[in-house]
Structure 1
Amino acid sequence: MMRNSKQIVWVLFLLFGCIYTKSFAQEEEYEVLPKESEYKHAKTKLWVNTYGKIRISKRLYWDAQTHFRFEETESTPFVGQVGQLYNRHALGYIYSKKVNFSLGGVLRLNFNTDPLSEDRNLVPEWRIWHQYQFAMPVYSATVYHRIRIEHRWTQGFEDDSEYIFRNRWRYLFRAKIPLNNHKLVPKTFYVAPETELIMQSGKAVVGSVMEDLRLTTTLGYILTPRLTVAAGGLYSMGQDLKNAGEFKQTFTLRVHMYYSPDFRRVKNKLPAIHLND
């Protein structure tokens, strides 16, 4: 009986010790978390983007995108230094004039923009992406719903930095509204308000699930059925990966060129949905 009592005492001692240790660890962890959210100073950026839809066959097209992204320095806003270079390509499938799908890969080159850093100046980022876009007419305008899912491998600028894997879940809503015409045809100006929500998941994502919320307004001009130019402004905000309580902010000027070459010996034009991305 005495032996059983000693065993019970030891079990209770170990149990209370584990509870106390866990509670202390939780208390220490809680103390390092932010007590309230904080918005970082907004950065300024400039994006120069090209979007190509190269028709291959009746149903297939090559989606070729190149992005040049600049960001501020202490002395120069918007275009002070190179931040990233994008090469995004995919094979697209035209299901109908209002629905298309894409699957491809991305090589993004990230430049170290920290002037005090002694780490590497350039690291690559790899992605696999697939996209589902739907369009529908609303009076004289066209409304787009775009779902894009990205599987990305990223690393820091430190020499011993390892790649981490994350998924991005993106939904974009865009409207294209003609201003000087009743249709989106050549020689037409249009305004395109859009909103995109970007969520992320993965082992490295602890609380910071909202990577970006983008609010954009663009003014565009359709030169020909194969060529459109546009420019506009973007405000974005999102949680920092290392600290979910910190929100990044940016004000970005964006310049776009959309081109749609068709080298087939046919007279059919690309569907209007492919004039932009």
Structure 2
Amino acid sequence: MKIKLVIALLLVVALSQAQQFNTPSSSTTALEETGIWNGLYLKVRLSDKIGYYGEHHYRVRNSLDNVTSFYGRTRQVYNRAGINIFFNKNFEAVIGPTLVLNYTPEPGNDQYEKITYEPRIWHQWLFKTPDMGRFNLYHQFRFEHRWKRNNNVGDVHDYTNRYRYKFFAYIPLNKPTITEKTLYFSPSAEIFMHTGSSIVYNPLEDFRTYNGFGYVLNNNVTFFVGHMWTLGQKSDGASYRSSHILRFNIQLGFDLRKLEKKLPRPNLGY
């Protein structure tokens, strides 16, 4: 009964936050994109303190003539890597490079370059709250230093900084704790702020709610599927864009330490 109450409260919080950010009238908020993001997440434990972290995404978006189609154009190929540093069981950090390939918004239009490259440096802090019994709560802080450019022919790179905070939970549904063969629910809410010489009236880059279900196949493989809704400011600061994204992830985790030092915990996703 308590678990059902916790799930209900988390859903209410996520929905209420979405409503609070959706304060602009319908005339200033437009659905601009639907899409499908496919992700491969990799986490490798190399020692008690050091590991490797990687994310590889292939993202598509709606066709030009139908904003609700979810596919029709390639949007991005996204590669993030980093050194994972484990301080203790409740705190870890990552630092490393990112390379994003941004595809043309209008295939066949010579005014746009087919692909542009966006390098980044990123670092992240992940805090796990002390043991709360059946469910786990996390606080994630991510910072990105980006050299962005549009696909317009002749555009130059624009340096910006992005600051992200995400609150999320893992709640097992068919077992008391998350182990092999566990189905779990994960609600989350994340806010994105950014700064730079080109950011004047739109400090709120994005607000996202991302909720879905995961299945832990074994200690190395987890599957996750979910829906993400986003809301962000346009450059004028008075109008907003929104999107609906379906996400499908495979999460792989490996422990290369000596057998006696391995932790018998499944990969939960990131």
TM-score (normalizing by structure 2): 0.84
Residue 193 of structure 1: which of 164, 174, 187 is its match?
187
- The one-character-per-residue Cα deviations of 1:209-255 (angstroms, maximum 9, x if unpaired) are 00000011110111111111010101001012x32222111000001
Q: How does 1:53-202 map to 2 (within 5 A)?
A: 53-73=43-63, 74=65, 77-115=69-107, 117-118=109-110, 119-136=112-129, 137-202=131-196
- Equivalent-residue separation in structure 1 for 2:27 and 2:125 (angstroms): 34
Closer, same or farther: CA 57–155 of 1 in aligned 2, 3 Å:
same
CA shift, 1:273, in A, is: 8.6
Closer, same or farther: CA 257–155 of 1 in aligned 2, 3 Å:
same
- The one-character-per-residue Cα deviations of 1:128-147 (angstroms, maximum 9, x if unpaired) are 00000011232300001000
Q: Does 1:253 align with 2:243?
A: no
CA shift, 1:37, in A, is: 7.2
- Equivalent-residue separation in structure 2 for 1:139 and 1:263 (angstroms): 28
- Equivalent-residue separation in structure 2 for 1:249 and 1:262 (angstroms): 39
- Equivalent-residue separation in structure 1 for 2:99 and 2:92 (angstroms): 23
Q: More helix by proportion, 1 or 2?
A: 1
TM-score (normalizing by structure 1): 0.82
Question: Contact conserved, 1:199 with 1:211, CA < 8 A, in 2?
Answer: yes
Matching residue of 1:228 = 222
Alignment coverage as a number of residue pairs: 241
- Equivalent-residue separation in structure 1 for 2:263 and 2:204 (angstroms): 35
Closer, same or farther: CA 107–270 of 1 in aligned 2, 3 Å:
farther
- Equivalent-residue separation in structure 2 for 1:270 and 1:107 (angstroms): 32
Q: Does 1:218 align with 2:212?
A: yes
Question: Contact conserved, 2:216 with 2:266, CA < 8 A, in 1?
Answer: no
Amino acid paired to 2:248: V
Give identity over the alignment, percent. 30
Matching residue of 1:23 = none
Matching residue of 2:203 = 209
Amino acid paired to 2:98: V
Where does structure 2 lack aligned partners over 5 or more consecutive residues?
1-25
- Equivalent-residue separation in structure 1 for 2:149 and 2:264 (angstroms): 39
Where does structure 1 lack aligned partners over 5 or more consecutive residues?
1-35
CA shift, 1:86, in A, is: 0.5
Question: Contact conserved, 2:252 with 2:267, CA < 8 A, in 1?
Answer: no
CA shift, 1:116, in A, is: 7.3
Moved more, 262-271 or 211-220: 262-271
Question: Which of the pair has more CA radius of gyration?
Answer: 1
- Equivalent-residue separation in structure 1 for 2:30 and 2:213 (angstroms): 29
Closer, same or farther: CA 271–94 of 1 in aligned 2, 3 Å:
farther
- Equivalent-residue separation in structure 2 for 1:78 and 1:219 (angstroms): 20
SS in 2 for 1:45: strand
SS in 1 for 2:197: coil
Matching residue of 1:13 = none
- Equivalent-residue separation in structure 1 for 2:203 and 2:266 (angstroms): 31
Q: How does 1:6-45 map to 2 (within 5 A)?
A: 38-45=28-35
SS in 2 for 1:161: coil
CA shift, 1:162, in A, is: 1.1
Matching residue of 1:10 = none
- Equivalent-residue separation in structure 2 for 1:43 and 1:159 (angstroms): 23
Amino acid paired to 1:44: T
Amino acid paired to 1:162: V
Question: Contact conserved, 2:220 with 2:253, CA < 8 A, in 1?
Answer: yes
